[in-house]
Amino acid sequence: MYETLITNIVNNIFHIVWFNNLVLEPKYDKRKTLFITILTGIVLQSAVLAATRLGLPRMVFFLGAYIVTAIVFGSVFLFVLSASSPKKAVFLISAYYCLWTFIYGLISLTTQSAAGAGGYGVWGLRFGLNLLFLFLYRRFFKKKLLYIYRQMKSGYGMITCISGLTFVMMTFLLCYNEYHIEKNVTHVFIMTLCYLFMLIVHMLLFYFMAQANHAHQLQLMQMHEQLLLAQMEGYEKIERNARQTRHDFRHHNMVVMGLAERQDYKGILEYLAEYERIETEKFDRKFSKNYAVNSLISTYMRKAKQSGIEMYADIRLGKTLCVSDVDLVCVFSNMLENAVNGCAQAAKSRRIEIVAHQKNAMLLLKCENSCTDEIHFCNGIPQAKDHQGIGVESILNIVEKYSGDVHFSAEHGIFRCSVLLKNCS
């Protein structure tokens, strides 16, 4: 029991070190995070010391300490230390616990010790392996993981499930190894292969995370390209209209002079009013002080008009302190693209209304459009025929990024999407 107790102390020391390094999006500063993890370790160790007086069998004591430690440290990380979404935080926890279990099992196999506990040699291996993996993590993986972790906006739910299942499987392997009395060469070989397979699974998970992040970056680049093309189209239209206005100006003067010579003042006023109306239609309306949003709304106004869709816009936005133009345009473009597509399928009158208001620290973006009655929802999220639409997923990611809220609904042939974003931290 003495050896197991020392092993538990070593474990808690490294849990404290590891969890301080694993908090990629912390709620608190480093000092407070360190204090919380040390306090957690002390409380756990006190509980273990109290449990030693119960006279529990060695394996029961080991499994109890193993499970309680995993639950307590995991809960503190998830609910106290990390500011990440639960799915992302759980992935880090399960990935670390898989490494922890791997070290447990590897030492148990190589030293033939129960539960990886033993004398100075076993404790030396624990220090050595933990320090080795900690060095590799900080030297080669932490920065890359941090970048992917922050940029990755979707797909980590499935990765988290796989990582969690891997941890459960490794725990069963560890228990099987402890209860398997005859540890011959074949047993050691098979267990080693199993542990290595679990590590390979996590290497593949990191690879998939990187690929998902690459896909997200590609999607952002495509949105940038669409925005730039829309802006270029707007500039070209302004230039064409300006050239046409300069070219026709002499002809308009001749008409006005002819009316003036006949003293047809009413005709002059009517002609100038018509001229003003035509010239105003040539140029984009100014919906917002934000040029990117204004250009995008104007582009979709033209697109809706060409498709025979009535479109109304009420855009009242000031400075977006925290919400970037790219994210703002992403929400608007996905809302309007879905609205245009929805109207194209609607049998009744086709209409789009887009509203954007700013109140204190919040941005409210709302879009209503005509739609069919065949829209299906899953947990309040509209679904495409075979999957959740990419546009809806992009909106959900941005809402999560700015700690906002989103609501979708469809009734009486009208689809509504309301998005609320925090405009300051």
- Confidence band for 406, pLDDT divided at 50, 70 and 90: very high
Q: Which pLDDT value is given to residue 320?
A: 67
Sheet containing strand 405-411, edge to edge, reads: 310-316, 351-359, 362-370, 414-422, 405-411
Check residue 351 and give its pLDDT. Answer: 92
Distance CA 410, CA 396 (A): 18
pLDDT for 155 equals 59
| Cβ proximity of 279 and 245 under 8 Å | yes
Predicted confidence at residue 282, as pLDDT, reads: 56
CB 283 within 8 A of CB 276: no
Whether the pLDDT of residue 189 is over 80: the answer is no
Q: What are phi and psi of 289, to 5 degrees?
A: -70, -20
Q: What percent of the chain has pLDDT over 70?
A: 79
Q: CA 279 from chain center: how many Å?
A: 45
Helical spans, DSSP H, in 283-352: 291-306, 325-345
Task: Provide mean pLDDT across the span 223-246.
Answer: 67
SS3 409: strand
Quick one: fold of 287-425?
A: Heat Shock Protein 90 (3.30.565)
The H or E element spanning position 362 is strand 362-370
Domain ranges of the chain: 2-222, 287-425
pTM, entire model: 0.54
Q: pLDDT tens digits for 54-69?
A: 777 767 777 787 888 8
Check residue 1 and give its pLDDT: 57
**Structure confidence at residue 40 (pLDDT):** 92
Give the pLDDT of residue 387. 45
Residue 207, both tokens: 């690879």
Quick one: pLDDT at residue 416? 93
Instruction: Please report which confidence band the pLDDT of residue 329 belongs to, taking 50, 70 and 90 as the band edges.
Output: confident
Does residue 351 sit in helix, strand or coil?
strand
How many Å apart are CA 64 and CA 303, to the nearest integer?
64
pLDDT digits (tens, 9 = 90+) for 276-298: 776 665 555 666 777 778 778 88
For 78-126, write each residue's pLDDT tens digit. Answer: 899 988 778 778 888 888 888 888 887 778 777 776 555 667 778 888 8
Q: Dig out the tokens for 393 from the structure.
A: 């997923």
